[in-house]
Structure 1
């Protein structure tokens, strides 16, 4: 087996007795903590047991209990309270762990380009039985089909695929106690076979409520509530809850993608022991030896390179000796060494987690490899006399041991046995050294997203605490947050320079830099605004060029194409800071190509990151950028034309331009002959253009009228009659250039309306464009017609942003991508803040596209803070310390049929109760959406059935989809009732045909 067939473990999540997360799980393991516990009297009562029964010597009130087992963040996953109540708790916890495992891996499933598979299994559902037993009395309108979907183990993995949007194989595995390690094996095979690019694998076992067990001598359960694996006093196991999920990926791909490799699965094998054993439930030395040798053969490693075995280790008198005998035989095929390999079992810490036992052992071993420590196996004093440890390769590890390799990587084996003989064995190896990410950016964008404000606040506080630790790589944290977290309804972002700055911003020590927004219900249109001449300055976008690869690549392409037209390299000019360079950049022949280059590169960078405009609006030369992006001109042709345009305009006689604070009609009444309205930038924002003396005289006149004016820094009278000669020559140049109708929408400066195909390819249009009034203000009005647009100024400066805010006010969101000239703001910081605002406003961003070979690596970042609410059958209510549900999951009193001649308001009240009945809520607000509250087609059918019974009328199923709120549904129902009365002559027992 070569490294190309090795599998990387890139993410993990789990909840086990005494451990709400894997950090606590490892702390318990390393500290030798036994997490089995004796149940309290209250817990026994909830389980229907008399607390006095604890005095019965055959009753052992001990279990590995999962805290908050009945808690669930139903709102995050889109479940109604009623549906959440019906779902088996082990399936709920598995879903949450799957979410956390992907976050731990640093992957947002919505942004991953490949297929993600899910392999896993859970224990038989005891909850399903109780739903029927208790539910018939307390849960109204139980549906067998719905209960089956909510509780059957077959739906464990498909539920994850559905809720997380995963499109790879989704396979439920059922091999009893070996289920989760078999699932890991199958997931690895799926990756090697190319069925998916990432695979989740694991298992769940959660029994509600905790109730302890009956001990019978000679059975498999412990007489004292302790698991003594391999010990002479071993007499059985203790049942426990547990859930674990690991995220797997081909090692070569994980390394190439900058994933955090936690360990490497170098081989795994699965087989059945067949009939070569004493009975159906008995293990077999021969069969297990064969399985382990198969795993060793596939791994192509020698047994003496394996220094730890995480055994199945149930702590039974028969099972433990058979397991060690099989391991010894397998190792003895190639080594005579003794006592070199530690052995232990996580069951001594947490008990036997049934379908989750294999993944619990697997996760423990990965954590041990990461920490290079072997945790103690508990309750071992004297070895089982049936195990010849002295002559075997193995010893039971009873203390926290530093794990040292002997000239090679650390390796371990993991075994898991299934009742019935389907066993699995995996061989793990420590992760290869991880290269340090060679990234050091001047600014970083931190993005946070949650479903509720309280979760977002908790997330913010957790991140601040995380960044307070020494040695945090802020670039990689930012990258992981951007690419490895789902974008939910509430979004928060901040641009920071270093970890200390980030902590100050996140904790509120620095005001004004932590922004929060709510994603709108529908996607808002995005409009790119491209500035015109005058916005350019030396050093513009310098830090973007240095630190953002896609931008640098686009600038390089433009600059190299312009060399033949300009006789210089723009990149060298823009990086200079001397007066001569500044003067050169004011020349129209240089300024226009320079502006085009920066604006085009910015636009290409944004579009490459998925920030695609719905429309574009350029100011004067900025329209050429829009035309190029819309495909009217190719990039080489557009650069040729913009260079030609700049030279022609510069060659015209000098002139002046004056900004005037007047509306266009008022300006027109005052404007003398010889001057032109060069631009209408807003309701009272115009620019006048013409000869120097005429502009000076007009400025003096306006001063006497107290009209504010500003002389613009320009050498020419653009968009005036002085440009007429340039217009004709430019039209000829356009006529010699290939042109295509635009493939994207943009607005015309000439009309202020949408460009037409005829205008875009007409050389005469481009002559008019150079000469006539820039109707930018009209273009903003057209953009506003799209409906609350996000206007993104794509270029240097923030002049267009200011114009948009002044004209459109609250009807738009105006965002600048670069700072104003002369500002100390970092270009990259402003660009990242713009991206953050666009993302927070609801736009999707492909963050990975903004990076190159210097891409940061994925690193651990605090996981989503689930807001668990207890969703459980009434008989189990308060069985765990979980915040009670705001809406009780108990039955809603059925709505009784009454006459149909009630007022509409009464109908809506009753409809609100019907909505609540099927969703598990007391009532539902009139404007609340049925499907956003967790409704689906099945519950919609139940709603229709209840409505028919309550109002004695046949309501079409489509009514729920067409009218998803109680208010809309009640209005439609009232109309149907009136029509039905007309058909039946007012017979209240009638039915609509």
Structure 2
């Protein structure tokens, strides 16, 4: 999620080439825009849009640019200048002038093919492209559960110096840059399996590069373990400032796939090299990556600039751990999910064992337009096809990892859809509906009220499914059950789950149980980052609303609910026994009551409780015995600008009955499922913290479909463009 990088010490190191776009602007009425074309602005604008506060470093060293940029990024990470680095390069062919100059210098192939290492090599073919990689310190990447594609073991950069000419390669200097990179990597030359060569397809350059590589990498190498070499330039052309990062990406992908792509156009080996005597072999066919049971795979990447700069990087492959996660992409290590809870329940221990598996998930999808959202649904359908996920099996951990990654690893825009599913088949059904039929409206973050119900509408087993699967709910209910058992030797869990003997509607038993359940639901919603700015409660529900506003602690509220229930259960009619009400007030006299910490709508007046005002025991005495202003409460909630009401309790709250053209969205996880309610909250624009949906689990981030950008063309209109 790029939004999480805002304000971070993330640096940008980019290989940048010639200013062809600026040259084009001279042929238009736009003039030259320094803010749009200067190399420093290229990296600066990226930092501006992403909110990054690390160094921004443009590197212009011809063909070595992006690999030198990587070298500087590694150094920045090692020195602690940055905690993350975006490294790469880009190349676009925008004018014919540079092409003519390169052709005049004999650099370009007349046949338009890059025949590196071949006898017919006559120069390179220019290519276009962009490549970006993300670097972090290895220990931090592991701790953060990042998907690690590979490890930069060492890098080095040097300069040809006084060679035969400013553009002529220097073999001994190339050997030294390789040796320095290997030394920093702590890797033996004979352990490197593959070299991604610079491979500019010039007779002299190819000859010197192969000889230099063989001189270093041939040391101690067994005859049956030749150094494999190739160059991505034969496949995609020469990307110039992006050539180094293109080669690195090829190497990383090859390591992860276990296959080195074919090096093209290699038929007749360069006659200037004694191939039979060299410990190297060109990968002229797709080649399996050598497997070593005692060590990981190693590779190296070279990039040599026409100005004499030499760069070399040694890379270690990274396995996919236990293989759980994406079947085709490396996955991050499984990490225990941490949940942020509100203060009253922050220190409650969360169960790590004995919980049932969550049977329902939801996939959050979002876009900046309805079209982007629909296209994203299509991409996920294709992703399911690629991973052969189509059955009704709900045990595949890849589906849970998918939902986790989509939640914590993506930005969330205002066009939203929450696809609730139990298995791959139901996920496909939901995605197809979104792809073809559902129109979404943009949603902005909304003002939220929690509305708490009183005693009525309860049923045997309410909350049981949440107790079995949600550690937050279990922690709160277990704590309340323990307190009640000590006080009156009764189990509120038995009452909630329909296992207690006697009248299930006995107020003395059901009221503390409902209070505990509502406090557990409040904590559960808080665990996904949804907390109210307004609370309102009906009858008994006002106790849980007051606890949510931190007017008293969880346990004090439970004792109050138990005393209130005993009073209500013992009265032939409300208000009939003054003595019983006196006892209730006496119970409250022993509880420290604070002013509400957020907006509380009084059930007695239907108005907002004034800031700083404490609802004393006398208020709660009346609240237990007199009629409440239910309709007025609902009107006040709407008047406060509430756009989303979360129902807390076993039935629909009166506050949800507000009926006008701007009625709030109403959400409830009982009697439905919590996941369905969270999906509704997500679609309503609420900022969901997805960790709460995975509390008690260990999940990993995996590769998912990229965002479907709805592209627009912004190229300048040039005059006399050829």
**Same topology, TM > 0.5:** yes
SS at match of 1:721: coil
Residue 775 (structure 1) aligned to one of 626, 629, 639: 629
Matching residue of 2:351: none
Show the 5 A alignment for 1:375-524: 375-407=261-293, 408-435=295-322, 436=324, 441-469=358-386, 470-471=388-389, 473-508=398-433, 516-520=440-444, 523-524=445-446
Matching residue of 2:571: 653
Deviations 1:862-901 (A, max 9, x none): 211122222222227999xxxxxxxxxxxxxxxxxxxxxx
Residue 627 (str. 1) matches residue 546 (str. 2): yes
Q: Aligned in 2, Cα 1:605/1:819: closer, same or farther, shift over 3 Å?
A: closer
Residue 843 (str. 1) matches residue 686 (str. 2): yes
Alpha-carbon deviation of 1:807?
2.5
> 2: distance between equivalents of 1:378 and 1:758?
77
> 2: distance between equivalents of 1:645 and 1:783?
26
Residue 695 (structure 2) aligned to one of 852, 875, 888: 852
Show the 5 A alignment for 1:4-153: 107-110=1-4, 115-135=9-29, 139=30, 147-153=33-39
> 2: distance between equivalents of 1:113 and 1:217?
48
Residue 341 (str. 1) matches residue 205 (str. 2): no
Query: Is contact 2:535-2:549 (8 Å) kept?
Result: no
Q: Aligned in 2, Cα 1:320/1:544: closer, same or farther, shift over 3 Å?
A: farther
Matching residue of 1:874: 717
Alpha-carbon deviation of 1:566?
4.4
> 2: distance between equivalents of 1:780 and 1:359?
60
Matching residue of 1:321: 207
> 1: distance between equivalents of 2:474 and 2:185?
45
Deviations 1:36-62 (A, max 9, x none): xxxxxxxxxxxxxxxxxxxxxxxxxxx
Alpha-carbon deviation of 1:218?
6.6
Query: Is contact 1:627-1:633 (8 Å) kept?
Result: yes
SS at match of 1:326: helix
Deviations 1:919-958 (A, max 9, x none): xxxxxxxxxxxxxxxxxxxxxxxxxxxxxxxxxxxxxxxx
Matching residue of 1:938: none
> 2: distance between equivalents of 1:188 and 1:610?
36
> 2: distance between equivalents of 1:422 and 1:209?
25
Alpha-carbon deviation of 1:115?
4.5
Residue 598 (structure 2) aligned to one of 732, 736, 744: 744
Show the 5 A alignment for 1:645-794: 645-650=564-569, 652-654=570-572, 690=573, 720-722=574-576, 724-756=578-610, 759-794=613-648
Query: Is contact 1:493-1:515 (8 Å) kept?
Result: no
Alpha-carbon deviation of 1:215?
6.6
SS at match of 1:739: coil
Alpha-carbon deviation of 1:363?
1.0
Matching residue of 1:233: 120
Alpha-carbon deviation of 1:587?
2.6
Show the 5 A alignment for 1:946-985: none
Matching residue of 1:809: 660
Show the 5 A alignment for 1:890-901: none
Alpha-carbon deviation of 1:380?
1.2
Alpha-carbon deviation of 1:618?
1.4
Alpha-carbon deviation of 1:405?
0.8
Alpha-carbon deviation of 1:243?
0.5
Q: Aligned in 2, Cα 1:607/1:577: closer, same or farther, shift over 3 Å?
A: closer
> 1: distance between equivalents of 2:169 and 2:493?
73
SS at match of 1:869: coil
> 2: distance between equivalents of 1:751 and 1:196?
56
Q: Aligned in 2, Cα 1:781/1:214: closer, same or farther, shift over 3 Å?
A: same
Deviations 1:161-186 (A, max 9, x none): 22233344433233322222223333
RMSD (Å) for aligned C-alpha atoms: 2.9
Show the 5 A alignment for 1:546-695: 546-571=468-493, 574=496, 576-578=497-499, 580=500, 583=502, 585-650=504-569, 652-654=570-572, 690=573
Query: Is contact 1:312-1:345 (8 Å) kept?
Result: yes
> 2: distance between equivalents of 1:151 and 1:775?
65
Alpha-carbon deviation of 1:192?
4.1
Alpha-carbon deviation of 1:383?
2.4
Q: Aligned in 2, Cα 1:109/1:417: closer, same or farther, shift over 3 Å?
A: farther
Matching residue of 1:244: 131
Structure 1 residue ranges without an equivalent (≥5): 1-106, 655-689, 691-719, 880-993
Matching residue of 2:47: 161
> 2: distance between equivalents of 1:500 and 1:483?
24
Q: Larger Cα Rg: Structure 1 or Structure 2?
A: 1
Deviations 1:414-452 (A, max 9, x none): 112233333322222222233436995311112211122
Structure 2 residue ranges without an equivalent (≥5): 326-333, 335-355, 390-395
> 2: distance between equivalents of 1:333 and 1:509?
59
Query: Is contact 1:118-1:201 (8 Å) kept?
Result: yes
Q: Aligned in 2, Cα 1:349/1:778: closer, same or farther, shift over 3 Å?
A: same
Residue 267 (str. 1) matches residue 153 (str. 2): yes
SS at match of 1:269: strand
Alpha-carbon deviation of 1:509?
9.6
> 1: distance between equivalents of 2:276 and 2:609?
88
Q: Aligned in 2, Cα 1:441/1:119: closer, same or farther, shift over 3 Å?
A: farther
Deviations 1:299-339 (A, max 9, x none): 22222222111111111122222222222232245446465
Residue 538 (str. 1) matches residue 381 (str. 2): no
Deviations 1:586-616 (A, max 9, x none): 3323322222222222222322322222211
Residue 204 (structure 1) aligned to one of 85, 90, 98: 90
SS at match of 1:318: helix
SS at match of 1:517: coil
Query: Is contact 1:492-1:517 (8 Å) kept?
Result: no
SS at match of 1:507: helix
Alpha-carbon deviation of 1:400?
0.8
Q: Aligned in 2, Cα 1:428/1:818: closer, same or farther, shift over 3 Å?
A: same
Deviations 1:817-875 (A, max 9, x none): 2233xxxx4x2xxx222222222222211213432352432222221112222222222
Residue 170 (structure 2) aligned to one of 268, 278, 284: 284
> 1: distance between equivalents of 2:510 and 2:5?
39
Matching residue of 1:35: none
Alpha-carbon deviation of 1:373?
0.2
Q: Aligned in 2, Cα 1:404/1:126: closer, same or farther, shift over 3 Å?
A: same
> 2: distance between equivalents of 1:852 and 1:877?
62
Query: Is contact 2:365-2:416 (8 Å) kept?
Result: yes
Alpha-carbon deviation of 1:114?
5.2
Query: Is contact 1:566-1:590 (8 Å) kept?
Result: no
Query: Is contact 2:417-2:682 (8 Å) kept?
Result: no
Q: TM-score, normalised by structure 2?
A: 0.87
Compare 473-482 and 267-276 and name the one that shifted more.
Answer: 267-276
Matching residue of 2:250: 364
SS at match of 1:722: coil
> 1: distance between equivalents of 2:619 and 2:476?
28
Alpha-carbon deviation of 1:361?
0.6
